[in-house]
Amino acid sequence: MTARMTKSVTTKSVTRVDNRFVIAPQIWQILMMLGPLLWSKDSLMSILATNTLLQVVVGLHVSHAIWKGRRFEEIYRIYLPFLVSYAFCDEKMMQVNIVMSLNGLFTTLDATINSQLFNLAGQIVVLQVFFPYEQISAIKGLIINHLVDQWLEDIGELKSLDQIDCNLFSILITNCFMMNGKNIPNYFLVLKGTLLSLIMVITINHILVKFNKSLTHSLILLTNIGTLFPIFVNLMIDFSRETIKSPIMWLIHFIQESQIRQFIICGWASILITFIPLVLLFKSKISLNTSRKIWHFMIFLLIVKPFKLDPEFVKIALCGTIPCFLTVEYIRYLKIEPYGTQLDTFLRSFADHRDQKGPLIVSYIYLITGISIPLLLFDSPVGLISLGVGDSLASIVGKKIGRVKWLGTAKTVEGTIAFIAGTTIISLILKYYLNYFSTVSVFDILLLCSAGGILEGNSELNDNILIPIFMVSMEKILTH
C-alpha cells in the first residue's frame, strides 16, 4: 500500500511538473506577442474600442478555444492576420483578413461540403453585419480564401500543412489576388499574375487527369506546364500601364537596360554553379541539419547586397521565384515524368521531420516566402537575417552545445542566445554599412531581435513564416 501511495504521489508530482512545462512556453509567447501591440497601445486600444467586427471575431476565437480546448498555437489564427493588417493594410483589408481567420474554425477536419458552405455563409454574414462596405470585393475575397484553404488542406492532407498553416497561407494568397489599383508595384503584379497562371495550368492538368487516370505522371502534364504557363503569364500579368505591354518582353528590356541587373544575374549564376555542387559533394560529411541551414545562409548572401543595388529587380526576382518553387513542388508531388522522381529523391534528402509528415515538402517554400514577405512589404531584411542567420545559428548551436532547454520545448536557451546575438550583430552591420534599418534605433534592433529569438525558441508553429512576419510587423510598428 505504501508503495502504491508513493507511486501515486510521484505520478502527481510529475503531472504538476509536466503542466508547468506545458504552460511555460505559452507565457513566453504571450509576452513576446504583446510587445508590438503594447508599443502602440493607444492606437490599438482605439481600434479595439471602436471596431465591433474585431471584438466579435476575437470573441469567436476565444469561445472556440474554450469549447474545443485546442492547442495554444491556434491563437496565431487571429494574431498574425491582425498584426500584419494593423501594420500594413487599410481598414477594409483588416476587416476582411480578420474575418478570413474564422475560416474552418467551427468545422471538423472531415467537414462535409454543406458544413463548409455554412461556415463560408457565416463569414459573409459576420462581414455584412459589422462592416457593410464594398461587399462585392470582400465576398469575392472570402470565397477565394475558402477555396484556397480547402485546396491546401486537400493536397497536404492536413499533415504537411495543419489547419493553422492552411488558414494563414490562404489569407496571404487571397491578399495577393485582391490587390488592385493603379499604384500597385510591378513586382506585385508579377506575383499575382504568375500565381494565377500556375493555378490555371494545375486546374487544366487536374481536369485531364480526372478524365484519364493514365496521364497522372505523364510527360503531357509537364508539356502543359512548359507551354501553357508562359502563355498564361503573358496574358495574366497586367502591364497595360507600361510602354512595353508584354510582361516577358518587358522583363527582357528591364534587364538589358541596366548593367547592375546583368551583374546581379551573373553573380547569382556564379554562386549557384559553384555552391550547389560543393554542398552535394560534402553533404555526406555533414549533418542533415547543417546542410539545410547552409541553404538558408546562401540565400542571405544572394540577396542582401543585390537588394541594395537594385531593390525593384530583386523584388521581381523573388516574386517570380515563389511560383517557380511551387511549380517544382507540383512536379515532385505528382512525380511527373521525366523529372518528378529525381526531384523527389533530391528534395527528400534535405527533408526534416516536418516534411516527412505528409506528401508535401514545404520547407523551401516556407523559406522563400518568409524571406520575401518583409522585403516586399517594407524593404526589410528581417526575413533574411532571422532565417539566413538567426535560425541557422540557433539550430546549429542548439544541437552542438545546447544543454538548457526552454521549458516544454526541444529548443535550447543557448540556441536562442545565438539567434539574438547573431541577428543583432548582423543587423547592426547592415545598418551601418548597407543602410538597412535607417529608421530603426540600435535599441529597437536589440528589442526586435530579442523578441524574435525568444518567440522562435518557444513556439511550435513553423518559424520560417512566424518569425519573419512577426519581426517585420514589429519593425513597422516600432518605426511609426
Residues in contact with 411: Cβ distance below 8 Å, sequence separation at least 6, in sequence order? 394, 398, 402, 405, 456, 457, 458
Q: What is the pLDDT of residue 414?
A: 94
Which set of grid coordinates corresponds to residue 255? Answer: 534587364
Q: How far apart are CA 364 and CA 352, in angstroms?
A: 11
Contact 299, 367 (CB under 8 A): yes
Give the gyration radius of the chain's Cα atoms. Answer: 23
Cα 428–429–432 angle (5° rounding)? 80
Asked whether 424 and 459 are in contact (CB, 8 A), the reply is no
pLDDT at 189: 93
Give the 3-state secondary structure of the chain: CHHHHHHHHHHHHHHHHHHHHHHHHHHHHHHHHHHHHHHCHHHHHHHHHHCHHHHHHHHHHHHHHHHHCCCHHHHHHHHHHHHHHHHHCCHHHHHHHHHHCCCCCCCCCCCCHHHHHHHHHHHHHHHHHHCCCCHHHHHHHHHHHHHHHHHHHHHHCCCCCCHHHHHHHHHHHHHHHCCCCCCCCHHHHHHHHHHHHHHHHHHHHHHHHHHCHHHCCCHHHHHHHHHHHHHHHHHHCCCCCCCCCCHHHHHHHHHHCCHHHHHHHHHHHHHHHHHHHHHHHHHHHCCHHHHHHHHHHHHHHHHHHHHHHCHHHHHHHHHHHHHHHHHHHHHHHHCCCCCHHHHHHHHHCCCCCCHHHCCCCCHHHHHHHHHHHHHHHHCCCHHHHHHHHHHHHHHHHHHHHCCCECCCCCCEHHHHHHHHHHHHHHHHHHHHHCCCCCCCCHHHHHHHHHHHHHHHHHCCCCHHHHHHHHHHHHHHHHHC
Q: Which residues contact 133 (CB under 8 A, 6 or more apart)?
A: 92
Give the model's pLDDT for residue 195: 95
Measured CA to CA, the distance from residue 227 to residue 201 in angstroms comes to 10
Q: What is the pLDDT of residue 64?
A: 79
Give Cβ neighbours of residue 192 (< 8 Å, ≥ 6 apart): 176, 177, 179, 236, 237
Residue 16: exposed, middle, or buried by beta-carbon count in 10 A (0-12, 13-18, 19+)?
A: exposed
Written as nine digits, the cell of 171 is 489569407
Angle 349-195-261 from CA coordinates, rounded to 5°: 80
Q: How many whole angstroms separate alpha carbon 189 and alpha carbon 110?
A: 36
Q: What is the pLDDT of residue 43?
A: 78
- What pLDDT is attached to residue 108? 61
Cell triple for residue 339? Answer: 523529372
pTM over the 0.85 mark: yes
From first to last of its 480 residues, the chain has per-residue pLDDT tens of 444 444 444 433 333 434 433 456 888 898 899 888 888 877 777 787 788 888 889 888 888 777 777 678 888 989 999 999 999 988 888 989 999 999 877 666 566 777 788 888 888 888 888 877 667 888 889 999 999 998 888 888 878 888 888 899 999 999 999 887 678 899 999 999 999 999 999 999 999 998 888 888 889 999 999 999 999 999 999 888 888 889 999 999 999 999 999 999 999 999 889 888 887 787 777 887 788 888 888 999 999 999 999 999 999 999 999 999 999 999 999 999 888 999 998 888 888 777 888 888 888 899 999 999 999 999 999 999 999 999 999 999 998 898 888 887 888 999 999 999 999 999 999 999 999 999 999 999 999 999 999 999 998 888 899 999 999 999 999 886
Residue 358: closest CA among 202, 152, 107:
152
How far is the CA of 230 from the CAs of 249, 262, 325, in angstroms? 12, 22, 15
Q: Which residue has the cell 454574414?
A: 125
Q: How far apart are the C-alpha atoms of 275 and 289, rounded to whole Å?
A: 17
* Closest of 382, 48, 331, 324 to residue 195, by C-alpha: 324
Q: Is the dihedral of CA 145, 147, 149, 155 positive or negative?
A: negative
Q: How many CB atoms lie under 10 A from the CB of residue 279?
A: 14
